[in-house]
Structure formats: structure tokens, C-alpha cells
Structure 1
Amino acid sequence: MKYFAVFFFILVSQLIFAQGKEEASIIKGVIKDDNSGVLLSGINVINVNTVKGVITDNKGEFSMMAFANDTLHISLLGYKSIKVKVTNDWIKNKTTTIQMTEKAYALEEVVVRPYILTGYLEIDAKLIPTRENYRYSISGLHEGYEAGEYSPNAFGRVLGSIFNPADMLYNFFGKKPKELRRLKEMKKDDTVKNLLASKFDRETISALLGVTKSEIAEILERCNYSEAFVKSANDLQIMDAISACYEEYKILKR
């Protein structure tokens, strides 16, 4: 009787575990323009939860592995990015149709003012502005810190970050370790990497890390990256910068 009770307990536990264990399913979708109905190819579809991405084919179709309640971030240049939740009905029906709205752009007037050069090298060299940005390298850390014209107080901030790292970065890194661990996963997926390398709007990073665009700028500022870098870097470079700063934060915290 004793052995039967133990066997029964193990059997019930396995059944409960099997019921609670969720399996990923293959979901499919078709993406169209909501106005014209045209099938949209080259759409980037990223699963925010698994940090895996795919691109729609010439028929506007895609397929990927997903769990119920996963969030898909869908984007294409010229269209409004959207987030779509994976539902049980979608998994059951295998496929769904998604519509995207084209952005309306208002072009602003651009005034081009060329430099008026004299032809004398010594004079012209002073007329054309130069950007002298460089980075301090600190022993024990993976990355340096930017300085120069666009970050004149960098060295002082570096010392501050060493002597008081927790107060400066805890609000970002200490409260979002799960989201920030996704940074490593992003580098493993070529679709995600290629998308980030082509974007400068911080939108995809914001969706993947669960932070706002303004918080991304503040993170980089507190990590001593210059304003010039923050404005000019593509999203892949921004991701690498945040990743490097996160690793330094963990070292300094110890």
C-alpha cells in the first residue's frame, strides 16, 4: 500500500507538470497594406519574448515559433510599427491576417549652406569644424569612455561612475535584469541584428528592452557616451553600447 501511494503521487505530479508545460507552436501570418490591400514583403517580425525574428516573403507571408501571449513587434520603413499579441485562437487556426498603416510624411525645407573656401589650406582648415572625440580606457573594464568636444566632462563622470556606480545605474539595470539579459540573445539572431543595423529610431530596442526612447538616451548618457554618438549611432551600435555598459555595471557592482 505504501509503494502504491508513492507511485500514485509521482504519477499525479507528472500529469500536472505535463499539463502546465507550455510548448511553442508554429504560427503563420499574412501582412497587408490596410488601405490598398497590397501584400507587404520585407516586413520585419520580431518575437519580443524569444528575441527571434523573420521577414515576410514576396507574398507577405511569414511563419515562426511562438508561445501563447508572446508579443510580436512588426515594422517596415514607411509604415507605422505595431505590436501584436499571439492568442490561443491564432495558434489553433495556425494563421492570421495583419494590416499595417502607411505613414504620412510632411517634408520640411532643408537649407544647405556650403563652406566658402579660400583655397589656402591654413585658412580653410580653420573654417571647417573638426570633431575630436576619443575614449578613456580604464583597466578592468571592457569599454572606454567618450570625451572630446561633444563630451568635455567625460573624465569626471568616469571617476564618478567608478566610485558610485550603484546610485547612477541601479534604476535602469538593477530593476530590469531580465530585459537586459535579452541583449545577448539579440546578437544571436541575424534577422534582429540586420534590422537594428539599418535603423536609427530606437523603436525596436525600446520594444525589446521595455524602456522608452528617452530612457535609452539617459542610459547612454549615464554610461558616459557622448551626445554625438547617441545621435549618430545606428540601433545595433546603441545595443552594443548598452550591453557593454551593463556588463561594466555588473563588474562595478561586485
Structure 2
Amino acid sequence: MKKTLFLIICSTLSLTAVSQKHRKFFYATLQDEMGAVANAHVINLTTKQGTFTNDHGKFRILAIPNDTLKISFVGYETKKIVVAIHHFGIQENHIKLKKVPIELEEVELKKHDLTGFIALDSKHIKSEKEINAETLNLPFAGSRILTPAERRLHTAMTSSAGIPLDPLLNWMSGRLKKLKKLKAIEDTEKRVQNIRTNYRLYISNELSILQEDIERFIYFAEGADDFNSFYLNDEMSMIEFLQKKSIVFKKLNPKNYH
């Protein structure tokens, strides 16, 4: 009997230790008095991992009992929650945030002779001359700042001595080809980051792409033959393009998208 009891205690302690090591998803909905709070920041202070609430105020984050979650958003009181075992039950967790008034700094109004007409008032407004490369008439003033890959490629393709010897040597050694490839990779990552930043929530919520497939889908869309960089500056064109690509992506992955 004692031996059986000892084995039961050891098993319980072992299971507890394992459960403490393996974090599970903590699911919750964030709300205020009016409804869902979107884009709030949620961070697990124990693991230093964070996430954001979606358009419906929902989020998930890996945690175990006794982890502390910190929830913050501009205009709301920051809230901390200590995770408990019951948070992993079948009932959904609802968290409420309290709004706080934002105090603006006092603005001092001074007397002026302005009439309210821009054409007249602009003649009487004095402004200090801005000092920069353009006002100082420095060489290449106003030029776009090159990225690291663009700068290396530019250096490899030009010669300070006036004799185009360096570009020829770089071409013969294969360095020019390598730099062009690095520049292409940098451009790809810029486009991918643009899609990731501006359309991640849309891809997840509206196109119903699984969380584990979002990165793969973004690279799939950016690498498509009919992708056009113009879409990055036209939201409607990008949304239509992503919708079309999501249909193709789901057909290529029938096991995950029935």
C-alpha cells in the first residue's frame, strides 16, 4: 500500500513538472465598456514573448500557471494577470480594460496680427532658414540614401580614378553577380516586410490563412509571377491580389483547407 502511494505521489510530481515546462496556449478576448479592443499589446513577462489582439479583441499566447501577462494599450490602464490553471478550461477568458483620460499639455495663446488668409499671412511669417545638405549646396544633396546592398553594388560598378577597371575586375571575379543577387534578396525582403506589416491581420482574419501558414503564404504571394510592386502602393489592388492567391494557396494545401 505504501509502495503504491509512493508511486502515485512520484507520478503526480512528475506530471506537474512536465506541465510546468510545456506551455499551452492561453486564449482570451479583450474588451472595454463599448466592445472589443483591437491591436492591444499582450506580453508574457515570464517568457518575454508578446502578441497583439486581432480586430475582434481576441489573442492567444503561450503560458503556464504562475506566468504573468501584461496587457497595455494607449488610453487604457495597463493590466497584469497571473495565469492560473482554470484559465486553460473550456470556458473562454474575458479580460476588461479600463479607459483613462489623456491629459493634454496646456497651450499658451499669444497675440498675433494674422488675418486668417494664407496668401496674406504667409508674407508676414518669418521662419529660420533650415540648414541641411541642400541649403548648403553640398554635392549629391537631395539624393536618396542608399541601402547597404545598393551601396556595395554602386561601389563595385564605379571607379573613383575615372578608369572603369574595378567594374571589369568585379565582373570577371563574379563579385558583381553576387552583389546583384544580394540586392535582389534585399528587395524581396523589403516587399515581404511591407506585406507582413500591413496585411498580416487581413490574411489571418479575412482570408482565413492558418497562423502557421501566414509566413509561407506571404512569400508565396510575393514570389508569384503576376505579383507587381505597384500593389504595395495600392491597397485595393493588393487586397484583390491576396484574395486571388489565397484561393490558389488553399488548393495547393488541401489537407489544411477543406
TM-score range, shorter chain: 0.3 to 0.5
Q: TM-score, normalised by structure 1?
A: 0.37
Higher Cα Rg, which structure? 2
Q: TM-score, normalised by structure 2?
A: 0.37
Tell me which protein shows more strand as a share of its residues: 1
